[in-house]
Structure 1
Amino acid sequence: MPEEDLVELQFRIYDGSDIGPFRYSPASTVAMLKERIVAEWPKDKKIIPKAANDIKLISAGKILENNKTVGQCRAPFGELPIGVITMHVVVQPSFAKAKAEKDVDEVPRKHVCGCSIL
Protein backbone atom coordinates (compact mmCIF):
# COMPACT_ATOMS: atom_id res chain seq x y z
CA MET A 1 0.00 0.00 0.00
CA PRO A 2 1.40 3.44 -0.88
CA GLU A 3 2.70 5.44 2.08
CA GLU A 4 0.32 8.36 1.45
CA ASP A 5 -2.75 6.09 1.84
CA LEU A 6 -1.88 5.19 5.43
CA VAL A 7 -3.67 6.96 8.30
CA GLU A 8 -1.56 8.13 11.25
CA LEU A 9 -3.28 7.65 14.62
CA GLN A 10 -2.33 8.21 18.22
CA PHE A 11 -4.33 7.22 21.26
CA ARG A 12 -4.78 9.47 24.31
CA ILE A 13 -5.31 7.60 27.58
CA TYR A 14 -6.92 8.71 30.86
CA ASP A 15 -3.88 10.55 32.27
CA GLY A 16 -3.27 12.61 29.13
CA SER A 17 -0.33 10.58 27.83
CA ASP A 18 -0.34 9.15 24.32
CA ILE A 19 0.25 5.75 22.77
CA GLY A 20 1.63 6.07 19.26
CA PRO A 21 1.47 7.53 16.69
CA PHE A 22 1.16 4.49 14.46
CA ARG A 23 0.30 4.19 10.77
CA TYR A 24 -2.69 2.08 9.74
CA SER A 25 -4.30 1.03 6.50
CA PRO A 26 -7.78 2.52 5.97
CA ALA A 27 -9.01 -1.11 5.85
CA SER A 28 -7.87 -1.81 9.45
CA THR A 29 -10.75 -2.39 11.83
CA VAL A 30 -11.37 -0.72 15.18
CA ALA A 31 -10.98 -4.17 16.80
CA MET A 32 -7.44 -4.34 15.35
CA LEU A 33 -6.67 -0.88 16.79
CA LYS A 34 -7.86 -1.99 20.22
CA GLU A 35 -5.63 -5.10 20.10
CA ARG A 36 -2.63 -2.90 19.32
CA ILE A 37 -3.51 -0.48 22.14
CA VAL A 38 -3.66 -3.33 24.66
CA ALA A 39 -0.31 -4.65 23.41
CA GLU A 40 1.35 -1.20 23.58
CA TRP A 41 -0.27 -0.06 26.87
CA PRO A 42 2.35 1.36 29.30
CA LYS A 43 2.93 -1.14 32.13
CA ASP A 44 3.50 1.60 34.75
CA LYS A 45 -0.11 2.85 34.71
CA LYS A 46 -2.58 2.24 37.56
CA ILE A 47 -5.34 1.13 35.20
CA ILE A 48 -4.36 -1.51 32.64
CA PRO A 49 -6.85 -3.12 30.23
CA LYS A 50 -6.56 -6.91 30.13
CA ALA A 51 -8.32 -7.36 26.78
CA ALA A 52 -9.51 -5.33 23.80
CA ASN A 53 -13.09 -5.57 25.12
CA ASP A 54 -12.02 -3.54 28.17
CA ILE A 55 -11.52 -0.37 26.11
CA LYS A 56 -13.62 1.97 24.03
CA LEU A 57 -12.25 4.27 21.34
CA ILE A 58 -13.75 7.72 20.90
CA SER A 59 -13.18 9.82 17.80
CA ALA A 60 -14.99 13.05 16.93
CA GLY A 61 -17.21 12.54 19.99
CA LYS A 62 -18.44 9.11 18.90
CA ILE A 63 -17.72 5.68 20.33
CA LEU A 64 -16.31 3.57 17.50
CA GLU A 65 -17.74 0.14 16.75
CA ASN A 66 -15.38 -2.84 16.48
CA ASN A 67 -16.52 -3.77 12.96
CA LYS A 68 -15.91 -0.29 11.47
CA THR A 69 -12.75 0.39 9.50
CA VAL A 70 -10.32 3.25 10.02
CA GLY A 71 -11.42 4.64 6.65
CA GLN A 72 -15.05 4.75 7.79
CA CYS A 73 -14.15 6.36 11.12
CA ARG A 74 -11.94 8.95 9.48
CA ALA A 75 -14.73 10.39 7.31
CA PRO A 76 -15.34 13.51 9.47
CA PHE A 77 -11.66 14.42 9.10
CA GLY A 78 -11.72 14.52 5.31
CA GLU A 79 -11.40 18.31 5.18
CA LEU A 80 -8.56 18.55 7.71
CA PRO A 81 -4.95 18.77 6.62
CA ILE A 82 -3.04 15.51 6.64
CA GLY A 83 -1.59 14.79 10.07
CA VAL A 84 -1.92 12.68 13.17
CA ILE A 85 -5.48 11.96 14.32
CA THR A 86 -5.91 11.59 18.08
CA MET A 87 -8.46 9.12 19.39
CA HIS A 88 -9.37 8.92 23.06
CA VAL A 89 -9.24 5.63 24.94
CA VAL A 90 -11.63 4.86 27.80
CA VAL A 91 -10.86 1.85 29.97
CA GLN A 92 -13.84 -0.02 31.34
CA PRO A 93 -12.54 -3.23 32.91
CA SER A 94 -14.72 -6.29 32.52
CA PHE A 95 -15.20 -6.68 36.31
CA ALA A 96 -16.97 -3.29 36.35
CA LYS A 97 -19.18 -4.41 33.46
CA ALA A 98 -19.98 -7.69 35.22
CA LYS A 99 -20.95 -5.85 38.41
CA ALA A 100 -23.19 -3.46 36.46
CA GLU A 101 -24.88 -6.40 34.74
CA LYS A 102 -25.33 -8.15 38.10
CA ASP A 103 -27.05 -5.07 39.57
CA VAL A 104 -29.55 -5.14 36.72
CA ASP A 105 -30.33 -8.83 37.28
CA GLU A 106 -31.14 -8.39 40.99
CA VAL A 107 -34.76 -8.28 42.14
CA PRO A 108 -35.93 -4.67 42.03
CA ARG A 109 -36.41 -3.06 45.41
CA LYS A 110 -39.83 -1.93 46.45
CA HIS A 111 -39.90 1.78 47.11
CA VAL A 112 -41.73 2.85 50.23
CA CYS A 113 -42.73 6.43 50.66
CA GLY A 114 -41.84 7.90 54.03
CA CYS A 115 -43.84 11.07 53.51
CA SER A 116 -46.44 12.35 55.94
CA ILE A 117 -49.19 14.72 54.96
CA LEU A 118 -50.40 16.80 57.89
Structure 2
Amino acid sequence: MPEEDLVELKFRLYDGSDIGPIRYSSTSTVAMLKERIVAEWPRDKKVVPKAASDVKLISAGKILENNKTVGQCRVPFGELPGGVITMHVVVQPSLAKTKTEKKVDDSPRKSVCSCSIL
Protein backbone atom coordinates (compact mmCIF):
# COMPACT_ATOMS: atom_id res chain seq x y z
CA MET A 1 0.00 0.00 0.00
CA PRO A 2 1.61 3.31 -1.01
CA GLU A 3 2.36 5.75 1.81
CA GLU A 4 0.29 8.59 0.28
CA ASP A 5 -2.77 6.31 0.09
CA LEU A 6 -2.94 6.08 3.91
CA VAL A 7 -4.96 8.48 6.07
CA GLU A 8 -4.35 8.84 9.80
CA LEU A 9 -7.60 9.05 11.79
CA LYS A 10 -8.52 9.33 15.44
CA PHE A 11 -11.99 9.05 16.87
CA ARG A 12 -13.12 11.42 19.63
CA LEU A 13 -15.59 9.85 22.06
CA TYR A 14 -18.36 11.63 23.99
CA ASP A 15 -16.18 12.15 27.07
CA GLY A 16 -13.23 13.67 25.19
CA SER A 17 -11.09 10.53 25.09
CA ASP A 18 -9.80 9.17 21.79
CA ILE A 19 -9.44 5.90 19.93
CA GLY A 20 -6.36 6.05 17.73
CA PRO A 21 -4.73 7.56 15.80
CA ILE A 22 -4.78 4.64 13.38
CA ARG A 23 -3.76 4.61 9.72
CA TYR A 24 -6.40 3.55 7.20
CA SER A 25 -6.43 3.15 3.44
CA SER A 26 -8.37 5.89 1.67
CA THR A 27 -10.48 3.09 0.14
CA SER A 28 -11.72 1.91 3.58
CA THR A 29 -15.46 2.43 4.01
CA VAL A 30 -17.15 4.23 6.89
CA ALA A 31 -18.84 0.91 7.79
CA MET A 32 -15.37 -0.65 8.23
CA LEU A 33 -14.33 2.23 10.50
CA LYS A 34 -17.45 1.75 12.65
CA GLU A 35 -16.73 -1.99 13.04
CA ARG A 36 -13.20 -1.20 14.21
CA ILE A 37 -14.47 1.45 16.65
CA VAL A 38 -16.93 -1.02 18.22
CA ALA A 39 -14.15 -3.63 18.49
CA GLU A 40 -11.73 -1.18 20.18
CA TRP A 41 -14.28 0.66 22.35
CA PRO A 42 -13.04 1.02 25.95
CA ARG A 43 -15.20 -1.26 28.14
CA ASP A 44 -14.96 1.03 31.19
CA LYS A 45 -17.22 3.66 29.57
CA LYS A 46 -20.82 4.21 30.69
CA VAL A 47 -22.12 4.16 27.11
CA VAL A 48 -20.97 1.20 25.01
CA PRO A 49 -22.23 0.55 21.46
CA LYS A 50 -23.44 -3.01 20.91
CA ALA A 51 -23.11 -2.93 17.11
CA ALA A 52 -21.71 -0.74 14.36
CA SER A 53 -25.27 0.42 13.59
CA ASP A 54 -25.31 2.15 17.02
CA VAL A 55 -22.41 4.40 15.97
CA LYS A 56 -22.51 7.60 13.91
CA LEU A 57 -19.32 9.26 12.66
CA ILE A 58 -19.15 13.02 12.17
CA SER A 59 -16.40 14.72 10.19
CA ALA A 60 -16.35 18.40 9.24
CA GLY A 61 -19.89 18.79 10.60
CA LYS A 62 -21.38 16.04 8.43
CA ILE A 63 -22.69 12.61 9.42
CA LEU A 64 -20.81 10.10 7.28
CA GLU A 65 -22.68 7.47 5.27
CA ASN A 66 -21.67 3.80 5.60
CA ASN A 67 -21.07 3.29 1.87
CA LYS A 68 -18.65 6.25 1.51
CA THR A 69 -14.89 5.72 1.57
CA VAL A 70 -12.41 7.60 3.73
CA GLY A 71 -11.10 9.28 0.57
CA GLN A 72 -14.58 10.59 -0.29
CA CYS A 73 -15.13 11.93 3.25
CA ARG A 74 -11.89 13.89 3.47
CA VAL A 75 -12.14 17.65 3.40
CA PRO A 76 -9.42 18.81 0.97
CA PHE A 77 -8.96 22.29 2.45
CA GLY A 78 -7.80 22.82 6.01
CA GLU A 79 -6.10 19.44 6.09
CA LEU A 80 -2.41 19.47 6.88
CA PRO A 81 -0.19 17.03 5.00
CA GLY A 82 0.70 14.22 7.38
CA GLY A 83 -1.81 15.49 9.95
CA VAL A 84 -4.29 13.43 11.91
CA ILE A 85 -7.98 13.80 11.03
CA THR A 86 -10.32 13.75 14.04
CA MET A 87 -13.79 12.28 13.61
CA HIS A 88 -16.41 12.56 16.33
CA VAL A 89 -18.26 9.44 17.48
CA VAL A 90 -21.90 9.55 18.57
CA VAL A 91 -23.55 6.47 20.07
CA GLN A 92 -27.26 6.08 19.31
CA PRO A 93 -28.88 2.78 20.27
CA SER A 94 -31.02 1.22 17.56
CA LEU A 95 -34.62 2.47 17.30
CA ALA A 96 -36.20 -0.91 18.06
CA LYS A 97 -34.42 -1.02 21.39
CA THR A 98 -35.39 2.50 22.43
CA LYS A 99 -39.06 1.93 21.56
CA THR A 100 -39.25 -1.10 23.83
CA GLU A 101 -37.37 0.58 26.66
CA LYS A 102 -39.55 3.69 26.61
CA LYS A 103 -42.75 2.80 28.42
CA VAL A 104 -45.60 5.21 27.97
CA ASP A 105 -48.33 5.39 30.59
CA ASP A 106 -51.39 4.17 28.68
CA SER A 107 -53.86 4.75 31.51
CA PRO A 108 -56.49 7.36 30.64
CA ARG A 109 -55.88 10.72 32.18
CA LYS A 110 -58.60 12.19 34.30
CA SER A 111 -59.10 15.86 33.76
CA VAL A 112 -60.16 17.71 36.83
CA CYS A 113 -61.84 21.05 36.50
CA SER A 114 -61.54 23.37 39.40
CA CYS A 115 -63.72 26.21 38.17
CA SER A 116 -65.73 28.29 40.64
CA ILE A 117 -68.86 30.15 39.59
CA LEU A 118 -69.81 32.97 41.90
- TM-score when normalising by structure 2: 0.79
Q: How many residues align?
A: 103
Tell me the CA shift for residue 2 of structure 1.
1.2
What is the root-mean-square deviation of aligned Cα atoms in Å? 2.2
Output one character per residue of 1:38-84: Cα deviation in whole Å (capped at 9) or x when no partner: 0000010000001000000000000000000000001x234521200
Q: Which runs of 5+ in 1 are unaligned?
A: 104-118
Higher helix share: 1
The share of aligned pairs that are identical, in percent, is 77
Give the match for residue 23 of structure 2.
23
Q: Which runs of 5+ in 2 are unaligned?
A: 103-118
Largest Rg, 1 or 2: 2
Moved over 3 A (4+): 99-103
- TM-score when normalising by structure 1: 0.79
* Cα 1:40–1:6 shift into 2, 3 Å: same
Question: One-letter code of the match for 2:36?
Answer: R
Tell me the CA shift for residue 23 of structure 1.
0.5
Q: Spell out the pairing of 1:1-118 with structure 2 (5 A cutoff).
A: 1-74=1-74, 76-82=75-81, 83-94=83-94, 97-98=95-96, 99-100=98-99
